[in-house]
Structure 1
Amino acid sequence: MTRLPEPTALPVSPVDLLVVGAGVVGLAHAVEAVLRGLSVVVVERDAFAVGASVRNFGHICTTAQDGLALTYALAARERWLWLAGEAGFTALECGTTVVARRPDEMAVLAEFAAARGAEQAVLLDRSGVAAHLPAHDPEIVGGAYLPLDLRVDPREAIPALAAWLAARGVPILWRTNVLSVEPGLARTARGDVRAARTVIAVGHDVDRLLPEVADDAGLTRCRLQMLQVAAPGGVRVGPGVLTGLSLLRYAGFASLPAAEPVRDRIGQEAPELIDAAVNLMFTQRPDGDLVLGDTHHYAPTHEPFDDERLAELVLREGARLLGVPELHVRKRWRGVYASAGTDFLDREVADGVRVVSVTSGIGMTTAHGLAAAVLDSLT
């Protein structure tokens, strides 16, 4: 059995900042506050992080963002590299390989590379892709390499951030549910916590605490089908791998005029991929397995029953991408993240009380940049 953490005593004196939620967004705010010399307490309803922060690819997808998300992602990239050394986890400067299997996909990558420059994107021919991805679909015609992207293991990094905070005197109140928040005070299932300012970082569960805020923001839940599979033939792949379907999901690509023909073609050739909003991609874990995904479905509350056809769809496309007949599944899980019409929810709901959520599935990529911006406005 997993040993549950002992309950931490509630702080007697008011703190400068209370953070509700110990996922990547909440921990990022706590880290930024500590670095600014503030006293902090974190309250988390579970015994350890179990949500989107540990169910993701560990792909710090800096380059494919656009606008404010790109600004936050570039800042977060530097914070991840610094924290890796400080907190004792691995952040690999491995980049991302985007593979193209059709000329229209190469056209998107060419337009992207022209706009961003060689520091952010380098075009590859077939042999260049093969150097990054030894096992691959023979239909690949080329691709691009995005050198700024990172990879971390979220199952290692998130606990490491919590431990780093605890070592600096930050109480993390695990297994403590927050019942209500008002200026200067949060009522929890274990008693009251007083703080000058509060950041509520509960991801897709904003509606559990503040339903009116969630409704006004149009916040819903995005459910993902994800799998951990054995690497065929023990292949080693350094960078994260994106595909033509990824060009339709990340704003840095999807906003380009060349992306629309890709969407139209895939919609005609394989409409089931568009219907399931597939983003075919993978990263390699430290143990060599591949994290493969993913599909996207949106609802305020999802039915508890998983459709095996979604897993079969991802496995079919993953095997094709890697040029093998089939893939062996080690683990499978349902990811869930907050979704809204913008990348970020950042709203003051009372004096000194902020609700902050990444609402586009890029929490690992942007949280540290977002947290720095929020702390700038709070302090």
Structure 2
Amino acid sequence: MKTNTYDLIIVGGGILGTFHAYHALKKGLSVLQLEKDNFPVGSTVRNFGQVVPSGMAGEWFDYGVRGLEIYQSIQQEMDISIRNNGSIYIASDTDEIQVIHELSAHYQTKGYDHALWSKAQILAKYPAMHADYVQEAIVFDQELSVEPETMIRQLHIFMQAKFEKYTLKYDTTVIACEDGNEQASLTTSNLEVFEGAKIIICNGYEFKILYRSLFDDSGLEISKLQMMRTKPLPQIQLPGNILTGLTIRRYESFEEYCPSFGTIPVPEHYHELRKYGIHILFKQATDGSIIVGDSHEYAAGNRLDDLGFAVDTYINDLMIAEANRIIPMRNDWITSSWSGFYAQHKDHMLEVDVSPRIHVRTGIGGKGMTASAGYAEQSIEKLF
């Protein structure tokens, strides 16, 4: 049995844990990051790769804006797949138009750059979109896209090259943590022991290994998402983050800042979609394939398995049909489909100090790609 000592140990190799490591390293601390899988395969890679502060409310908006700066600063040093192609929310009816105008009024007070686009402007930029769906849009040119399947590993490679005090270990499951007199320690499934001045646990939706009873009563819930990817479609050009009418009727910023959000009627054709938490997003990858989704089904944080592992064809068919109202979309274009999961908290996120040296930070929900970089910065400042 061997012992190694660090200023900080991060449990979890996803985006939230990685940015905690990044900001600690920027402060000159020695950091060990441990990931239980061969490489990250959870929420961080099973998403659209959209960095959209415009969809956030409260402090999460501020974290998202700071995240734009952090992502771009890293991209200037190494290609981690960041693209500055902006975000567009497309309103499909008069109610959604009303809501995006209200969001525009809010962002004018915040000084967050944006533009309202006419139908003609949208179709000029996105000629593949169906003219009968597109009415108006709100556009945020400063927002970013990433390639979710590759970005986190590129970020790890960047950090390994940049920071001498960074140690990353994949395939390393932590089975116990303990706070001692002068250091915290953890034990891996290989019975290796590591010590640190502090341990931060960013465990995503893995609640069965460490502190099971804590997570049983934490207020966390799990969301299961379904997403699809098409074959490369060079005939369709969709630069940026494409968000649609159902997104306008769902995202936090619209709910928080738009007075008419809670009063606009739900069109009949949206009822079945909302039953499965569906809203339609598109994100085109560099190879021309398009990620399409997503749906949301929920379970208590300690009941992940109730959600099942299967991909529901009926839900996919609903999403394809709604996507086809917006752009050309066919079932036989879909080459892969998957379910993703993330943990979220009903109030904020889960921040529990298990002891003076052991800290749980998880449950950031669907905000991880947008807000983790900014959130982790202030989290590290508080702890160090």
Structure 1-normalised TM-score? 0.92
Q: Name 1:54's counterpart in structure 2.
A: 45
Query: Given the alignment, which residue of 74, 89, 96 partners 1:83?
Result: 74
How far apart, CA to CA, are the structure 1 residues paired with 2:363 and 2:329? 36
Q: Counterpart of 1:272 in structure 2: which amino acid?
A: E
Q: Name 2:266's counterpart in structure 1.
A: 265
- Deviation readout 1:44-67 (Å, 9 max, x if unpaired): 111111111111111001111110
Q: Counterpart of 1:217 in structure 2: which amino acid?
A: S
Are the equivalent residues in 2 in contact too, given 1:129–1:142 (CA < 8 A)? Answer: yes
Q: Name 2:217's counterpart in structure 1.
A: 216
The correspondence of residues 309-348 of structure 1 with structure 2, limited to 5 A, is 309-323=314-328, 328-348=333-353
Change over 3 Å in CA distance of 1:107–1:219 after alignment to 2: same
How far apart, CA to CA, are the structure 1 residues paired with 2:311 and 2:281? 20
Residue 103 in structure 1 maps to residue 97 in structure 2: no
The correspondence of residues 58-69 of structure 1 with structure 2, limited to 5 A, is 58-69=49-60
Q: Name 1:162's counterpart in structure 2.
A: 156
Structure 2, unmatched stretches of 5+, are none
Q: Name 1:253's counterpart in structure 2.
A: 254
Q: Name 1:307's counterpart in structure 2.
A: 312
Q: Counterpart of 1:291 in structure 2: which amino acid?
A: I
Are the equivalent residues in 2 in contact too, given 1:69–1:343 (CA < 8 A)? Answer: no
Q: Name 1:132's counterpart in structure 2.
A: 125
Change over 3 Å in CA distance of 1:351–1:141 after alignment to 2: same
**What is the number of residues matched between the two proteins?**
368
Residue 285 in structure 1 maps to residue 282 in structure 2: no
The offset of 1:119, in angstroms, is: 3.8
Are the equivalent residues in 1 in contact too, given 2:25–2:31 (CA < 8 A)? Answer: yes
Structure 1, unmatched stretches of 5+, are 1-9
Q: Counterpart of 2:285 in structure 1: which amino acid?
A: R
Change over 3 Å in CA distance of 1:107–1:207 after alignment to 2: farther
How far apart, CA to CA, are the structure 2 residues paired with 1:208 and 1:222? 19
SS at match of 1:104: helix
Are the equivalent residues in 2 in contact too, given 1:229–1:291 (CA < 8 A)? Answer: yes
The correspondence of residues 153-232 of structure 1 with structure 2, limited to 5 A, is 153-167=147-161, 168-169=163-164, 170-183=166-179, 184-190=184-190, 191-230=192-231, 232=233
The offset of 1:206, in angstroms, is: 3.5
Are the equivalent residues in 2 in contact too, given 1:29–1:371 (CA < 8 A)? Answer: yes
How far apart, CA to CA, are the structure 2 residues paired with 1:13 and 1:307? 46
The offset of 1:71, in angstroms, is: 1.3
After TM superposition, the structure 1 stretch with the greater mean CA deviation from structure 2, 23-32 or 215-224, is 215-224
Q: Name 2:366's counterpart in structure 1.
A: 361
- Deviation readout 1:166-190 (Å, 9 max, x if unpaired): 2223221211110011221111112
Are the equivalent residues in 2 in contact too, given 1:342–1:360 (CA < 8 A)? Answer: no
How far apart, CA to CA, are the structure 1 residues paired with 2:136 and 2:357? 51
Cα RMSD over matched residues? 1.8
How far apart, CA to CA, are the structure 1 residues paired with 2:83 and 2:236? 18
Structure 1 stretches of 4+ moved >6 Å: none
The offset of 1:327, in angstroms, is: 5.9
- Deviation readout 1:54-110 (Å, 9 max, x if unpaired): 111110011111101111111111111111122322311211111111000000000
How far apart, CA to CA, are the structure 1 residues paired with 2:367 and 2:356? 28
The offset of 1:13, in angstroms, is: 3.7
Change over 3 Å in CA distance of 1:327–1:134 after alignment to 2: farther
The offset of 1:211, in angstroms, is: 2.4
- Deviation readout 1:262-309 (Å, 9 max, x if unpaired): 4x323x333111101112111110101111100000112222333210
How far apart, CA to CA, are the structure 2 residues paired with 1:120 and 1:216? 41
How far apart, CA to CA, are the structure 1 residues paired with 2:371 and 2:115? 23
Are the equivalent residues in 2 in contact too, given 1:19–1:201 (CA < 8 A)? Answer: yes
Q: Name 1:150's counterpart in structure 2.
A: 144
How far apart, CA to CA, are the structure 2 residues paired with 1:120 and 1:260? 25
- Deviation readout 1:158-210 (Å, 9 max, x if unpaired): 00111122222322121111001122111111211100001100111135322
How far apart, CA to CA, are the structure 2 residues paired with 1:131 and 1:358? 40
Q: Counterpart of 1:361 in structure 2: which amino acid?
A: G
How far apart, CA to CA, are the structure 2 residues paired with 1:276 and 1:229? 21
